[in-house]
Amino acid sequence: MTMKKTALVVGATGVSGRALINYLDRQEDWSVIGLSRKPPYFETRARFVSVDLTNPESCQEGLSGLSEVTHVFYTAYVDNKVIAETRAPNARMFANFLPVIEKAAKNLQHVCLLQGTKYYGQYLGPFKTPAKETDPRISVPHFYYDQQDLLMAASEGKDWSWSAARPHVICGFALGNPLNLVATIAVYASLLREMGEPLGFPGKPGAFTSIYQATDADLLAKAMVWMSISPQCANEAFNITNGDFFRYQNMWPVFARHFGMQAGGVETMDVPSRMRGTDKLWDTMVEKYRLQRHPLSLLVNWDFANYAFSNDWDVMSDTTKCRKFGFLDFIDSEQMFLDQFSALQRDKIIP
């Protein structure tokens, strides 16, 4: 008989946390506890605790009773337009969290940390591709390094192990945490179509032609659970992407076809400025197409669009390590985008 495990998904309502909860909900040998500040807006059998990780007292109050937790999946994240500004709050949240849960969870077995390709400096300019887990850290500080260092030090000599997943643009759906490429493209396309415009590519010309990659949120969830229960993955980091690569110049006409639009060329723009004032149009579209009543601000963050289409250099992770260690799943990225667009349409999030 398999032993029942208890997962604590930290960042339960985010794009990656929600996918983890959905995945674990379907596994009979897991109990699930979700943690974030706001309660989940989706159906789940997970128990929920509301904790503000920036507040040490809230951590004590919310975490010290969680003695049953065996596995932690840490996906909490606080964003800032200025990437350097994400360091201090995210490092602090993890530092507030880890010692308290370690003390509370008497049978802790594993802590799986969610990182990303920023670990390799992908956001700063051309970097060594494909990036390998063994590549040296870059000289610019990042909270990924702070969190991992803290985790490694805390686990030394203990009965529990750690792992780290490094995806690139996580594609799934989250309401109110809109760092989400699929919803960004889908809402952007829907608004342009409503305005009678073609689907232009808003990023830089080089971002249209460079090699890019993505990670399906469900695939990532499965990989993180695999990492947390596979003894060979203890104290290791893994690049987790769909396993293929693409260029937007080939993907964009496919997206346009899906939305029944004319594909435009590269129309480099500041997306927040271009989309200013579209909230009202969105509200009329909600009425017209009988969509779920979500304000635009819960679905998209146009600053994220600027970021997502700004890399005019190749972004490639080497995923041979996870395969060597036994994770063989992959996803066709084009199919993933089309399936997720269709799901947003089916669920009446977009027309």
Ligand X SMILES: NC(=O)c1ccc[n+]([C@@H]2O[C@H](COP(=O)([O-])OP(=O)(O)OC[C@H]3O[C@@H](n4cnc5c(N)ncnc54)[C@H](OP(=O)(O)O)[C@@H]3O)[C@@H](O)[C@H]2O)c1
- Beta-bridge partner residues of 36: 50
Output phi, psi for 54, to 5 deg: -75, -10
> Cβ(166)–Cβ(135) under 8 Å?
no
Draw the binding track, 133-172, toward ligand X (x: CB under 6 A; -: no contact): ----------------------------------xxxx--
Q: Which stretch binds ligand X (CB under 6 A): 5-13, 103-111, 121-129, 319-327?
A: 5-13
We find the least distance from the C-beta atom of residue 344 to ligand X, in angstroms, to be 16
Our finding on whether 76 is near ligand X (CB under 6 A) is yes
For ligand X, give the closer residue by CB, 179 or 285: 179
How many CB atoms sit inside 10 A of residue 16's CB?
A: 28
For ligand X, give the closer residue by CB, 37 or 132: 37
Our finding on whether 78 is near ligand X (CB under 6 A) is yes
Residue 104's contacts (CB-CB under 8 Å, 6 or more residues apart) are 63, 64, 65, 66, 67, 69
> Cβ(232)–Cβ(298) under 8 Å?
no
Residues touching ligand X: how many (CB under 6 A)?
29
Exposed / middle / buried, residue 44 (Cβ in 10 Å: 0-12, 13-18, 19+): middle
Our finding on whether 14 is near ligand X (CB under 6 A) is yes
Tokens of 109: 């077995």
Task: Give the integer Cα–Cα distance in Å for 175 and 178.
Answer: 7
How many CB atoms sit inside 10 A of residue 345's CB?
A: 17
Our finding on whether 243 is near ligand X (CB under 6 A) is no
Draw the binding track, 80-109, toward ligand X (x: CB under 6 A; -: no contact): -------------x----------------
Our finding on whether 114 is near ligand X (CB under 6 A) is yes
Our finding on whether 53 is near ligand X (CB under 6 A) is yes
Near ligand X in 170-229, by CB under 6 A:
170, 174, 177, 179
Tokens of 92: 């602090």
Q: Which residues in this chain contact ligand X in the complex, by CB under 6 A?
A: 11-17, 36-38, 51-54, 75-79, 93, 114, 116, 167-170, 174, 177, 179
